[in-house]
Amino acid sequence: MNVQGMEVELKYDAGPEARVPRLADLPGAGRVAPPRVDRLTAVYFDTPGRTLAGRGISLRRRTGGADEGWHLKLAPEKPEGVGGGAEPGAPEIRRRRELHAPLGRPDVVPDPLLAHLHVYLRGADLAPTVRLETERTTHALYGPDGTHLADLADDRVSASLLPAGAGAYRWREWEFELVHGGPELLGPAAELLAAAGATPAPHASKLARALEVLAETGPGRAESTNGQRAPELAAGKEAPAAAVVGLYFATHLDELLANDPAVRLEEPEAVHNMRSAVRRLRSALAAYRKLYARAPLRRLAGELKWLGGMLGGPRDAEVLRERLDGHAAELPPGKDSAAARERLGRHGAEQYDAGYRRLLLALESGRYFRLLAALEDFRDAPPLRMGAASKGIRRGRKVSARAVAKAARRLRRAQKKASGTLGEGDYEQALHRVRKDAKRLRHVAESAEPVRRRARKVAKAAHRQQKVLGDFHDAVIARDLVARMGSDGPYATLHAREIELMAAAEKKYRKARKKSRRLLQRGVT
């Protein structure tokens, strides 16, 4: 079983003789259960270069205590000051997603947890790196109605490096972690712990603390990974163009990385979300290509196109299957209808399964892992052309406005060409081109939103056209598949239904195009 949760806690350093404060003094407290003492042994796993630690991720197998098993803690969210404050040395609320799995074998990471790590490990092997021995005294706080509000864990920790057990480091810390209590408990708890002589811990985790102290003499340090982004990206109105693109690029690279585990676990919408992130990255590179060196940009764009194609196989099959399953369910009852539904369902499942298998193989390939590294390199050290990063370069407002205008002109040319196209097949292909250009305009306009107020309206207008033409294209694909399967009975009914939906989508497109004509001509200026 794989259990997920969000860890929300305050972490404090405590002296060897510090006394645990009276939790019953907290507002809303009812009672404090008798202390429970557990002896915990946690073995942490990482690569020799400590890839996971470098990204703020920890993977451990812990024995002892109520929640023994495998624990994966993903990179923490940005800490918040208690009460919204951000003064230096102030206590911080730490939040991070945590996943659990049963103990199983000590040397085999459970697949549901490992699925979240492939995107960072990229083919590297995991091995034990640190052992933590903890004597934990837990003070459980309950409300007047018996609700388990929070736990205060008084931990006395001993850490050593593996495999040789090099070094030894001991300390004491307190963790005040919410269970079912609300965040209003955190402020009073911070005051109570500080009054007892504790100080906010400077480390996000026990592992980070142990590595900082022990790695100086141990067999390796946490590597500086591409995942540890250098400066915080920002794109205000006076930001240079590279910052505008960088912010958009970083946002959707994060989206790609976040969806990798969900794709491997076959979670709903994961392939769609990852494919959308890839498309946005490609659009940004195409729209702002003059800012960057040509060769690395071309290589990156080509590899993104490959990944998009791998994602497109199962996603297109999934969309088509859902569409035809829905329409087939509307067929009148009867033997022929049942046979058609069964045949369509089997075809859809086979196409999806084949595409998904190809995608999983791609996600395990060195080519994919090299692409991830190249994307992170581009984000952290973009190959800007001479002068593109210098002070006084064309501001992002101007460059983004030009990029949006160019994408809008491209869309208008495609629309004009489609309007003058004769022949059913050519017209359908022309509308498919319009759809792609509407999608590019939408993405480029999204990238301009931090510096151009009107960009959001342009993006929405382009999205409307993209959406209805997406419906049109899906109907074309479904029509052609049904026609290949048969020309009478239920297949004739489904064929007629798709033609009807094509006409409806085309009508909506013409309306959306007319409505947005002036807006797209003006652009974001």
* Neighbouring-strand partners of residue 150: 141, 178
Average pLDDT over residues 427-452: 94
Instruction: Calculate Rg over the CA atoms of the chain.
Output: 28
For 291-345, the three-class secondary structure string (H helix, E strand, C coil) is: HECHHHHHHHHHHHHHHHHHHHHHHHHHHHHHHHHHHHCCCCCCHHHHHHHHHHH
Yes or no: say if 244 and 279 are a contact pair by the CB < 8 Å rule: no
Domain boundaries, the chain: 3-214, 241-331+357-522
Residue keyed to tokens 């109105």: 237
Neighbours of 437 (CB within 10 A): 23
Phi-psi region of 481 (alpha: psi -120 to 50; beta: other; left: phi over 0): alpha
* 497 band by pLDDT with thresholds 50, 70 and 90: very high
pTM (two decimals): 0.86
90 is written with which tokens? 């102030």
Average pLDDT over residues 203-210: 88
Cα dihedral sign, 273-277-278-279: positive
Cα dihedral sign, 499-503-506-512: negative
Quote the pLDDT of residue 94.
Answer: 75
Residues near 508 by Cβ (< 8 Å), separated by ≥ 6?
A: 468, 471
Quote the pLDDT of residue 157.
Answer: 95
The alpha carbon of residue 46 and the mean position of all alpha carbons in its chain are separated, in whole angstroms, by 21
Alpha helix (H) residue ranges in 205-293: 206-214, 241-264, 270-287
The second-level CATH assignment, the architecture, of 241-331+357-522 is Alpha solenoid (1.40)
Same fold, 3-214 and 241-331+357-522: no
Average pLDDT over residues 298-311: 97
* Cα–Cα separations (whole angstroms), residue 172 to 39, 140, 154, 175: 14, 19, 7, 10
Quote the pLDDT of residue 131.
Answer: 94
Residues near 224 by Cβ (< 8 Å), separated by ≥ 6?
A: 54
Quote the pLDDT of residue 392.
Answer: 36
* Amino acid present at 244: V
What is the C-alpha end-to-end distance of the chain, expressed in Å?
54
pLDDT digits (tens, 9 = 90+) for 9-54: 899 999 999 999 999 999 989 999 999 999 999 999 999 999 999 9
Average pLDDT over residues 448-466: 93
pLDDT digits (tens, 9 = 90+) for 228-240: 444 444 555 566 8
SS3 of 248, please? helix
* 363 band by pLDDT with thresholds 50, 70 and 90: very high
Q: Which CATH number fits domain 3-214: 2.40.320.10, 3.40.50.300, 3.40.50.11540, 1.10.4030.10?
A: 2.40.320.10
Per-residue exposure over 229-240, b if at least 16 CB sit within 10 Å of its own CB, e if not: eeeebebeeebb
Nearest-angstrom CA–CA distance, 60 and 53: 12
Quote the pLDDT of residue 393.
Answer: 45
129 is written with which tokens? 């790196």
